[in-house]
């Protein structure tokens, strides 16, 4: 099983891997890209850490929907997640999916693997906090993402992948 994470600018390249599941996390007013995948989900909220006037933040229902979608993914085709820049909402989605498909207690390891795979990743902390609550990870997801800190400065992320392996039951 493989997760593919990318910015919108690299979506066509990512689609060449023929994902069975495709997740777009985009702003409410953005046009959703036309993606042909057996399973498709579009989530619409801004990349913000909480309520801000005039903007839409991630809500618990959004993250519950993401988790339900990710539970239906079993491989062998990849799951693709993208957002505008491939830095915050898509990396948060990937981390949430990695935690979902791994046992409690490995959140820190997964966050560190995410940092190594994507030095510019700055997962959306609100998404992580909501997922931590839903998955009952007792703050471990929040702490792990806080520990890796903000990613290096970048205007746009680059496409990367995480492979599901059998090493200690971890993704990547």
pLDDT in tens, 85-138: 999 999 999 999 999 999 999 999 999 999 999 999 999 999 999 999 999 999
CA distances from 123 to 12, 36, 42, 57 (A): 23, 26, 18, 14
pLDDT value for 164: 57
* List of domains in the chain: 2-163 (3.90.190.10)
| Total residue count of the chain as it appears in this document | 172
The separation between CA 165 and the C-alpha centre of its own chain, rounded to angstroms, equals 18
pLDDT at 155: 85
Banded model confidence at residue 165, pLDDT cuts 50, 70, 90: very low
Integer Cα distance of 95 and 111 in angstroms: 7
Q: Where are the alpha helices (DSSP H) in 73-157?
A: 89-100, 107-117, 125-134, 140-148
> What is the tens place of the pLDDT at every residue in 139-162?
999 999 999 999 999 889 999 998
Residue 67, Cβ neighbours under 10 Å: how many? 17
Average per-residue pLDDT for the chain: 93
145 contacts 134 by C-beta, under 8 angstroms: no
pLDDT class of 169 with cuts at 50, 70, 90: very low
State pTM to two decimals. Answer: 0.94
For residue 51, count other CB atoms closer than 10 A to its CB. 10
* Residue 86 near residue 6 (C-beta atoms within 8 A): yes
The per-residue pLDDT for 166 is 37
**pLDDT at 25 > cutoff 60:** yes
Q: Say if strands 160-163 and 2-7 run parallel, antiparallel, or are unpaired.
A: antiparallel
């Amino acid at each position: 099983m493989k997760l593919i994470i990318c910015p919108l600018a690299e979506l066509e390249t990512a689609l060449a891997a023929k994902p069975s599941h495709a997740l777009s996390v985009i702003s409410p007013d953005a046009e959703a890209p036309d993606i042909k995948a057996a399973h498709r989900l579009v989530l619409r909220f801004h990349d913000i850490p909480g309520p801000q006037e005039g903007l839409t933040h991630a809500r618990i229902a959004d993250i519950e929907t993401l988790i339900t979608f990710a539970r239906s993914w079993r491989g062998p085709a990849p799951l693709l997640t993208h957002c505008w820049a491939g830095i915050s909402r898509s990396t948060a989605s990937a981390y949430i999916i990695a935690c979902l498909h791994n046992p409690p207690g490995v959140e820190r390891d997964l966050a560190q693997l995410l940092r190594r795979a994507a030095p510019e990743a700055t997962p959306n902390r609100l998404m992580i906090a909501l997922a931590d609550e839903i998955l009952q990870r007792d703050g471990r997801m929040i702490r792990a993402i806080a520990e890796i800190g903000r990613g290096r400065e970048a205007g746009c992320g680059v496409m990367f992948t995480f492979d599901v392996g059998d090493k200690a039951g971890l993704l990547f």
